Amino acid sequence: MPQPQGPPEDKAWTFETTPVWADEFEYTGQPDPAKWGYDIGGGGWGNNELQYYSDKRENSNVANGLLTITARKEASNSMQYTSARVISKNKGDFLYGRVEVKAKLPTGRGTWPAIWMLPTDWAYGNWPKSGEIDIMEHVGYDQNRVHITVHTEAYNHGIGTQVGQNKVVSTASTAFHLYRIDWTPYAIRGFIDNEQIFEFVNDGKGYRSWPFDKRFHILLNLAVGGNWGGAEGVDPDIYPKSMEIDYVRVYKMIEK
């Protein structure tokens, strides 16, 4: 008999207390190549962004217990800014779990930092069919408002149906805050400083609304301008600007 369609049961899954994968950034130099790679290039990244993503230490550097991703106003490969997009693809890929990132965000009109996840294998097709999980997004022209969002074929910003929540974090750029998702077969729940502000429930209708049954990896980046980040222009006089990451920790979901 085929299984009836419909939302799965929420089994109140919990998570292991020791990370299955983590980077505390307690070293000096480039991000650990056993854990991180880079997306490199320019061309707007689908959002008309202004930066060229490099693998240079000037754009992503580990020191003093922090990963610092820095956007700079400097021409590179026909783009007018440089920055970094550090990714765990094929080095840290996960299906379900708790993902925690402690970060301090940049300020300034035109900055667009993100802590997010993309599918490693794109099993259901190109964006947005295979999904996207935005653990933290911030645009500098709307200081201190932090967003948690998911995108799927049925729910995405391309057609104005994305599902998200946001919260004003008054010290988003002057202090470190904990950005987290708890991802189970039932739902993706988003938290800021361990306060839940977001929930997206699996409706059981298949990948168009819930492609989140495949492995995803983590991305850390700081974009400049773009459709959202640059919606109120870009202040060229503020750079360099940085996002600082204290740690990234992933905890395995305990099966039930």
Place of tokens 């645009």: 139
Q: Which two tokens stand for residue 214?
A: 């495949």
Could you read off the pLDDT tens digit of each residue along the chain, which spans 256 residues?
445 467 899 999 999 999 999 999 999 999 999 999 999 999 999 999 999 999 999 999 999 999 999 999 999 999 999 999 999 999 999 999 999 999 999 999 999 999 999 999 999 999 999 999 999 999 999 999 999 999 999 999 889 999 999 999 999 999 999 999 999 999 999 999 999 999 999 999 999 999 999 999 999 999 999 999 999 999 999 999 999 999 999 999 999 9
DSSP letter at 200?
Answer: E
CB atoms within 10 A of CB 68: 20
Catalytic sites, residue numbers? 132, 137
Distance CA(51)–CA(74), nearest Å, equals 9
CB-CB contact of 108 with 71 (8 Å): no
Residue 1's pLDDT is 46
**By C-alpha distance, which of 108, 105, 73 is closest to 169?**
105
Q: Report CA dihedral (15, 20, 22, 26) to the nearest 10 degrees.
A: 120
Residue 5's pLDDT is 65
Burial (CB count within 10 angstroms: exposed 0-12, middle 13-18, buried 19+), residue 165:
middle
Q: Which two tokens stand for residue 127?
A: 């964006």
- φ/ψ of 140, rounded to 5, equals -65, -25
Which domains does the chain possess? 21-251 (2.60.120.200)
Place of tokens 């995108």: 151
- Residue-wise pLDDT for 16-74, tens only, equals 999 999 999 999 999 999 999 999 999 999 999 999 999 999 999 999 999 999 999 99
CB-CB contact of 136 with 147 (8 Å): yes
Residue 82's pLDDT is 98
Burial (CB count within 10 angstroms: exposed 0-12, middle 13-18, buried 19+), residue 75:
exposed
Helix (H, G, I), strand (E, B), or coil: what is residue 25? coil
Residue 192's pLDDT is 98
Q: Which two tokens stand for residue 130?
A: 């295979």
Tell me the one-letter amino acid at 250: V
**By C-alpha distance, which of 50, 68, 79 is closest to 228?**
50
Return all residues near 21 (Cβ < 8 A) that are at least 6 apart: 35, 88, 92, 94, 249, 250
**By C-alpha distance, which of 232, 255, 219, 245 is closest to 114?**
219
**By C-alpha distance, which of 253, 255, 131, 103 is closest to 182?**
253
Residue 235's pLDDT is 98
